[in-house]
Structures are given as structure tokens and as C-alpha cells.
């Protein structure tokens, strides 16, 4: 670009006008560094990029996938029932309790903090439901709402001590771990165990299956279609605005990959009892939390705080509020996970708090 004042873009346009200029400026595309290596288009580009990354030691999620395959191979060798539809389906359902807690923890980890208390909080949640619905005969829906609200409040308390008082999250949630475990024992009373009705609402969380094969396949179709449509419309909008977009071939490839996975999973579930309610709920939570983290201003604030607290503060982000809300989210999901755990063992007892024992 020229240093001659009159011919630089500075001379003709002013910066603030960039804010309300309606049409995309064609010049915008030229602002790239000539040294930037543009990936080859299409599938070949994908492959060469993949090879380069492997060679550079940038393995991404490959180790996880390989690890999973190795684990599956070993267990299948030990017991030929391991990869059966029934077992895989049961594992998927069992995963949901810890999975829900993990979703909450991810929010905290993105802040660069830690929450050690989720196990205990999940135990408290199970105890609240059991005490309210079994011991006191309160409507199970109400009991569930109370447990989840309780988890959120516990999270707010942790967040308050961390964000307002300034105690390290490690210390706050470690004491939370101990305190809420004691609180759970207190709630459960002298027996230490309250059995849940496995046909009740909580019981059904992990025992209900949509036995109609259309349910699992339908979900797969909806998921694949939604993925394709959102990628496609997004790419079209980007194209229209003159910013780099994904080529159609890449979208199709990604959609195809998702379709293979989705239909394989659906077929597996259908071979057994059908789509488990727990798995459906977990998938919904995953999609929703991914959406919140990557597509909303709130999620951006969470990432920003994880990057630099001071920069976030100077950008006008209410650091305290975001921190407290993140711990509230962790508490909420811990409580939700606790419900699934209680549902799985059909009881509330000390064996809850799976993450701590």
C-alpha cells in the first residue's frame, strides 16, 4: 500500500463511517497479508491440511478418537457383549449423569477456574428430590424444580465467595465439596438412603425409551438437516457480505460425516429399546450450551474472562456478574446430573457425588 497520503484509503474514507456504511467495500478483501497461505479448495485441500497438521504434531481430537477405539477393542476382546447394542445403549444412558455435570464444569474451565464441588452438589440435588417427593410426598415436578433451583443457588453462593469476596475458586469449591456432602447426609437423615420409585418422574429419566424406531431416526434426520441448513444459510450470508465462507463441498462433507454418525447411533439405539430419554435430553443440553457459548454475547463474555480479566473489565464487562452466573450454571448442571444419578441407582444415598468418590 502506498505511503502517499492522498492515495491511501485513509484519505478518502473515515474510520467511523465504516461502522454504518451499508454496502460491503470491495477493498475489504484486499486487506490480507500476502504471506497468508490459502488452503487449497475442496477435498484435496482438506487432506493436505490434515497431513500437514499431523506432521506438525497438531493432533487435535485424534488422540481421543484413537483412545476410544483402543478401549473399545480391548473391552470387546475381554467380553464379546461389549459392543452390543444393549451395552452401548446402557453406557450412553449411564454417561448422562456425569455428562451433565461436565457441561457445567466446562463453563467454569472456560473462565480459567475450577469447580471441585459438583459431585457433592449433585448429591444434594438427589437428596432434595428424595426428601421432598418420597419423605414429604410433594409433587415430583416441584421436587425436581426445587433440586435444580437449589443447585443454582449453591452455585451462586460459590460464585459470591469467589467473585465478590475474592477467595480462590479452588478453596471455595473445595470447602463447598465438604460442606455440601455433610449437608446431603443431614438431609438424608439417619438411614442415609432414601429409595426412589423407579416408575416415578425421576426414575423415568433413565428408564424411559422412545421405543418407536421413528423417534431415533427422526432425531437423526432433524439433526442432520438442521446442521446442513444452518451451515448452508450461514455460508450464503457470508458470501453475500463478501467475507470468507465455507465452500459447499466442505459443508456437504461435514454433513455426510455427521449423518453417518447420527444414523449409526440411531440404528444402535433402535436395535435395543429405542431412543433413551436421557440421551435425548443430554443432546439437547449439549446443543444449547454450545449455542450459548459460541453464538451469544454472554458466551463471548465467558471466553473473554478466560482470556484476560483486566481486558474484559476495561471492555465494560461486568466481571462479578459473569463469574457468579457461571458458577450458578455449574451448580445447576451439577443438580441436573444428580437427578440422573439418583434415577440410575433409584435412590438418593452416599454413593451419590460420583465425581468425588
Partner 1 sequence: MSATPVLALRGVSKRFGAVQALTDVELEVHAGEVVALVGDNGAGKSTLVKTIAGVHPIDDGVIEWEGSAVQISKPHDAQNLGIATVYQDLALCDNIDVVGNLYLGRELRRRGVLDEVEMERRARELLTTLSIRIPSVRIPIASLSGGQRQTVAIARSMLGEPKLVILDEPTAALGVEQTAQVLDLVERLRDRGHAVILISHNMADVKAVADKVAVLRLGRNNGVFDVASTSQEEIISAITGATDNAVTRRAARNAEVQK
Binding site for partner 1 (CB under 8 A): 1, 3, 5, 8-10, 13-16, 18-19, 21, 24-25, 27-33, 35-36, 234, 237-238, 241-244, 295-297, 300, 303-304, 306-308, 310-318
Nearer of residues 11 and 189 to partner 1, judged by Cβ = 11
Q: Which helix (H) or strand (E) holds 32?
A: none
Strands (DSSP E) contained in 142-181 are none
Say how many C-beta atoms besides its own lie within 10 A of residue 205's C-beta: 23
Which parts of 246-318 fold into alpha helices (H)?
A: 248-271, 277-295, 297-307, 309-314
* Shortest reach from residue 26's CB to partner 1, in Å: 10
Asked if residues 352 and 151 have their Cβ atoms less than 8 Å apart, the reply is: no
Strands (DSSP E) contained in the chain are 193-195, 209-210, 275-276, 347-349
* Shortest reach from residue 33's CB to partner 1, in Å: 4
* Shortest reach from residue 48's CB to partner 1, in Å: 19
If you search the block for the grid coordinates 475442496, which residue do you land on?
42
* Shortest reach from residue 114's CB to partner 1, in Å: 17
Nearer of residues 19 and 190 to partner 1, judged by Cβ = 19
* Shortest reach from residue 315's CB to partner 1, in Å: 3
Phi-psi group of 14: left, alpha or beta (phi > 0 → left; psi -120 to 50 → alpha; rest → beta): beta
* Shortest reach from residue 251's CB to partner 1, in Å: 16
Nearer of residues 111 and 194 to partner 1, judged by Cβ = 111
Nearer of residues 9 and 182 to partner 1, judged by Cβ = 9
Nearer of residues 139 and 308 to partner 1, judged by Cβ = 308
Nearer of residues 252 and 293 to partner 1, judged by Cβ = 293
Bridge partner list, 275: 210
* Shortest reach from residue 204's CB to partner 1, in Å: 33
Q: Which residues contact 62 (CB under 8 A, 6 or more apart)?
A: 54
Nearer of residues 16 and 165 to partner 1, judged by Cβ = 16
Nearer of residues 179 and 232 to partner 1, judged by Cβ = 232
Nearer of residues 37 and 165 to partner 1, judged by Cβ = 37
* Shortest reach from residue 229's CB to partner 1, in Å: 15
Alpha-carbon span 151 to 148, nearest angstrom: 5
Radius of gyration (C-alpha) of the chain in whole angstroms: 25
Q: Per-residue b/e over 284-310, b at no fewer than 16 CB within 10 Å?
A: ebeeebeeebeeeeebebbebbbeeee
* Shortest reach from residue 310's CB to partner 1, in Å: 6
CA nearest to 335, candidates 298, 327, 292? 327
Asked if residues 210 and 93 have their Cβ atoms less than 8 Å apart, the reply is: no
* Shortest reach from residue 3's CB to partner 1, in Å: 6
Nearer of residues 5 and 55 to partner 1, judged by Cβ = 5
Q: What is the DSSP letter of 348?
A: E
Residue 215 exposure: Cα atoms within 13 Å on the Cβ side: 16
Alpha-carbon span 237 to 127, nearest angstrom: 49
Amino acid at each position: 500500500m502506498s505511503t502517499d497520503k492522498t492515495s491511501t484509503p485513509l484519505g478518502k474514507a473515515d474510520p467511523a463511517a465504516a461502522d454504518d456504511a451499508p454496502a460491503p467495500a470491495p477493498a475489504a478483501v484486499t486487506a490480507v497479508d500476502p504471506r497468508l497461505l490459502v488452503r487449497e479448495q475442496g477435498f484435496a485441500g482438506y487432506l493436505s491440511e490434515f497431513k500437514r497438521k499431523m506432521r506438525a504434531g497438531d493432533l487435535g481430537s485424534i488422540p481421543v478418537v484413537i483412545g476410544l477405539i483402543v478401549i473399545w477393542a480391548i473391552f470387546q476382546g475381554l467380553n464379546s457383549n461389549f459392543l452390543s447394542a444393549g451395552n452401548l445403549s446402557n453406557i450412553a444412558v449411564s454417561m448422562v449423569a456425569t455428562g451433565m455435570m461436565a457441561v457445567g464444569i466446562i463453563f467454569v474451565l472456560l473462565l480459567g477456574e475450577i469447580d471441585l464441588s459438583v459431585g457433592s452438589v449433585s448429591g444434594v440435588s438427589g437428596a432434595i428430590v428424595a426428601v421432598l417427593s418420597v419423605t414429604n410426598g410433594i409433587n415430583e415436578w416441584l421436587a425436581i424444580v426445587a433440586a435444580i433451583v437449589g443447585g443454582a443457588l449453591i452455585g451462586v453462593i460459590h460464585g459470591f465467595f469467589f467473585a465478590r469476596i475474592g477467595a480462590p475458586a479452588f478453596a471455595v469449591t473445595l470447602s463447598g465439596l465438604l460442606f455440601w456432602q455433610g449437608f446431603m447426609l443431614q438431609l438424608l437423615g439417619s438411614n442415609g438412603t432414601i429409595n426412589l420409585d423407579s416408575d416415578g418422574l425421576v426414575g423415568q429419566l433413565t428408564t424411559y425409551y422412545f421405543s418407536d424406531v421413528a423417534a431415533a431416526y427422526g432425531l437423526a434426520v432433524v439433526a442432520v438437516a438442521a446442521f446442513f441448513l444452518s451451515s448452508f444459510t450461514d455460508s450464503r450470508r457470508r458470501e453475500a457480505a463478501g467475507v470468507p465462507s465455507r465452500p459447499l463441498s466442505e459443508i456437504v462433507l461435514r454433513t455426510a460425516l455427521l449423518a453417518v454418525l447420527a444414523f449409526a447411533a440411531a440404528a444402535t439405539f433402535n436395535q435395543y429399546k429405542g431412543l433413551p430419554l436421557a440421551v435425548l435430553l443430554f443432546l439437547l443440553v449439549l446443543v444449547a450450551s454450545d449455542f450459548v457459548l459460541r453464538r451469544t454475547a454472554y458466551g463471548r463474555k465467558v471466553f473473554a474472562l478466560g482470556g484476560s480479566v483486566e481486558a474484559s473489565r476495561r471492555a465494560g464487562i461486568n466481571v462479578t456478574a459473569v463469574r457468579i452466573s457461571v458458577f450458578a450454571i455449574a451448580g445447576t448442571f451439577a443438580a441436573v446430573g444428580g437427578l440422573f444419578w439418583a434415577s440410575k441407582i433409584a435412590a438418593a444415598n452416599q454413593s451419590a457425588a460420583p465425581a468425588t468418590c
